[in-house]
Structure 1
Amino acid sequence: MRYYEIVLIIHPDSDNQIDNLVNYYSEIIINSTGKIHRLENWGRRQLAYAIKNLNKAYYLLLNIEISKNILDILDNDFRFNEIILRYLIMRTKNIIVDPSAMVKKKDDNNQEGNNSTVCI
């Protein structure tokens, strides 16, 4: 089993499908004896450049532990899923369970009274 970090950029009009998407991929990972070490919803954010004429999208971050053949299944599924605009899969050497810089930044903003997403 190897450790991976996955970032998904999801179509902004599919906000009601994000929970279903997370549950679907979580089931695939867990049913294949994998583990989800960190799952964060970064919320709807501005894109650096337009993708398919869209300027905003939802971001999800997953740190998982799975085998290579299950990663290939996920990669293929990400590629053909219409609501996933872009994705990035990176292999990591260690388990990452600490909150990301994005969540820490949002937590700091929360203390100032702004709304933000929460680490799942």
Structure 2
Amino acid sequence: MRHYEVVFIVHPDQSEQVPAMIERYKTLVTGRNGAIHRLEDWGRRQMAYPIQKVHKAHYVLMNIECDGETLAELEHAFKFNDAVLRHLTVKTRKAVVTPSPMMKEEKSRSLTQGDAKVEAPAAAVAA
């Protein structure tokens, strides 16, 4: 079995359906003896250019291990799902389990915002 990195972009009006879509795609891969090594929901983000007059979309990243037939079925599911605006599949040499740069950025951003929130009440108490 080969390793793949799959990113798909969902229409922002369908963001509430993303968890169900992720679950459907997870069962598709794992039901055919595949494995999911990393799954990240990046949330709603600004796109580089509009697609179908939409400027923001919901991004999801999956690192999977599966055979070619399973991958073809997964891409077929993306193609015939109107909520999926775009998808990209890249073959990788090995399983990637470390957080992506997008998630590292989110984590560092949330930590710095958390520090600012902690410092603000301390400054108010000191004043």
Percent sequence identity over matched residues?
A: 40
What residue is the counterpart of 1:13 in the other structure? 13
What residue is the counterpart of 1:75 in the other structure? 75
Q: TM-score, normalising length from structure 2? A: 0.88
Q: What residue identity is the alignment partner of 1:109?
A: R
Is 1:32 aligned with 2:32?
yes
Q: What residue identity is the alignment partner of 1:47?
A: M
Alignment: residue pair count: 114
Deviation for aligned residue 1:3: 0.1
Within 2, Cα distance between the matches of 1:112 and 1:43? Answer: 19
Unaligned runs of 5+ in 2: 115-127
What residue is the counterpart of 1:64 in the other structure? 64
Deviation for aligned residue 1:112: 1.4
Q: TM-score, normalising length from structure 1? A: 0.93
The runs of 4+ residues in structure 1 deviating greater than 2 Å are: none
In terms of fraction of residues, the more helix-rich structure is 2
Within 1, Cα distance between the matches of 2:19 and 2:103? Answer: 18
Q: Whose radius of gyration is greater, 1 or 2? A: 2
Unaligned runs of 5+ in 1: 115-120
Within 2, Cα distance between the matches of 1:37 and 1:22? Answer: 14
What residue is the counterpart of 2:41 in the other structure? 41
- 1:78-93 alignment runs, 5 A limit: 78-93=78-93
